[in-house]
Amino acid sequence: MEISVWQLGILIMAIGFIFVCINLGNAIKSSSKIIINLNKMIEQNEKKVGNIVTNLDSITGDVEKIMSLGSNISGIIQSVKFVNKIFVKKK
């Protein structure tokens, strides 16, 4: 029984094709697991994300209040420093 070069080439290509198909199947299986886990995480955190989005307006309002309060305190400190310079004489 003789084996020609083109038959050997086809055999090697078939083995390579089977190897590629097995690896592709494993990749699809692992990506399917990743997608399932991702969907579970989204479902578990959906309410938390919804609460954050609905409360975003109040959160930004609180940040604005804190910023304005910090600005007011800074202004008071500057005015106290100015008054202190007027009334306190340097030696």
Based on its alpha-carbon atoms, the radius of gyration of the chain, rounded to whole angstroms, reads 36
Q: Is the pLDDT of residue 58 over 70?
A: yes
Separation CA 51–CA 45 (nearest Å): 10
Q: What does the pLDDT average to over 21-25? A: 95
Half-sphere exposure of 35 (CA within 13 A, CB side): 6
| Residue 40 C-alpha from the chain's centroid | 17
Let me know how long the chain is.
91
- The confidence score (pLDDT) of residue 77 equals 85
Separation CA 16–CA 3 (nearest Å): 19
